[in-house]
Amino acid sequence: MARLLVTGGSGFIGRAVCSLAVDRGHEAVSVSRSGAPETGSDDVEWIAADVFEPAEWRGALDGVEAVVHSIGTAEENEGDGITFERLNGDSAILVGEEAARAGVPAMVFVSASVKPPGVDESYLAAKRRAERALAGHPLRSVVLRPGPVHGADQPHFPEAVDTVFRALDSLPGAAALGDARPLSVETVARAALDAALDPDRAGVIDVETMATRYDVD
Ligand SMILES: NC(=O)c1ccc[n+]([C@@H]2O[C@H](COP(=O)([O-])OP(=O)(O)OC[C@H]3O[C@@H](n4cnc5c(N)ncnc54)[C@H](OP(=O)(O)O)[C@@H]3O)[C@@H](O)[C@H]2O)c1
């Protein structure tokens, strides 16, 4: 049994990672400002903390096998300090530094293959900046680069869009969509957990690899 810390564990992807981890008998600790979501499992330890205040959560890194970082945004709100640079870039770099300092062996960064439609290029630039920074850390770092992610309770786009993504993902020719191929949240969670726990995984895991290796639906 391993202990995992999931930053953004109350979000759409982070919650799926926490659920899968506890289903497989691991210990999962989530860090997010809101703490436990309404339907959050009692088997997950929910810490309510701002990731940019590491003193509030670094104690939870004790004994952690891997951190899965699943914080980010597709919408900036500069008044609230929510920028792509900060959320999609700085947060991952900060978490990587904290994890490395605490002697955590591995970090999985949920990045992205493509920017969402209509979103500024700086969304992806910040992710790539964080990827480069993490590659220079002493810990084993794995970068997941999904495109659009579909699943029940997807909070980011209307249900009809989710249905289209699911249909595209299940087409026999879905591979032709390349980096824009949608993946299920369960596929991404399986990839994240495997990347966290397999000492041989490092570097970038792209959409095609996730679809081939972790889409078992
Ligand atoms: N969903 C997709 O289709 C998709 C596709 C490709 C890549 N991605 C990437 O995957 C990652 C996760 O996406 P998602 O869809 O799961 O996002 P999400 O549902 O918005 O979840 C984001 C999580 O981050 C937490 N968070 C935000 N700001 C925080 C802060 N300052 N301190 C602590 N926690 C904070 C949120 O909780 P609180 O608000 O309570 O703090 C939430 O738990 C993102 O980096 C995103 O770019 C997503």
Place of tokens 């909070």: 155
Summarize the confidence of residues 210-216 as an average pLDDT.
Answer: 93
Whether 123 is catalytic: yes
pLDDT at 153: 86
Regarding the beta carbon of 84 and ligand 1, being less than 6 Å apart is answered no
Which amino acid, 155? P
pTM of the model: 0.98
Q: What percent of the chain has pLDDT over 90?
A: 96
Regarding the beta carbon of 193 and ligand 1, being less than 6 Å apart is answered no
pLDDT at 194: 98
Please tell me the distance from the alpha carbon of residue 216 to that of residue 214, in angstroms, as a whole number: 6
Atom index in ligand 1 nearest the CA of residue 113 equals 6
Atom index in ligand 1 nearest the CA of residue 114 equals 6
Give the C-alpha distances (Å, rounded to integers) separating 99 from 37, 62, 119, 126, 175.
Answer: 24, 10, 30, 20, 35
Distance 213 CA to ligand 1 centre (A): 24
Distance 8 CA to ligand 1 centre (A): 6
User: Between vectors from CA 111 to CA 81 and to CA 47, what angle results, nearest 5°?
Assistant: 60
Radius of gyration over every alpha carbon of the chain, rounded to an integer in angstroms: 16
Regarding the beta carbon of 146 and ligand 1, being less than 6 Å apart is answered yes
pLDDT tens readout for residues 58-74 = 999 999 999 999 999 99
**Which tokens sit at 197?**
């726990």
Report DSSP letters for 23-83, one per residue: HTT-EEEEEETT-S-TT--TTEEEEE--TT-GGGTGGGGTT-SEEEE----SS-BGGGTB-
What residue ranges define each of the domains in the chain, with the CATH number in brackets?
3-149+184-214 (3.40.50.720)
What's the 3-state SS for 32-48?
ECCCCCCCCCCCEEEEE
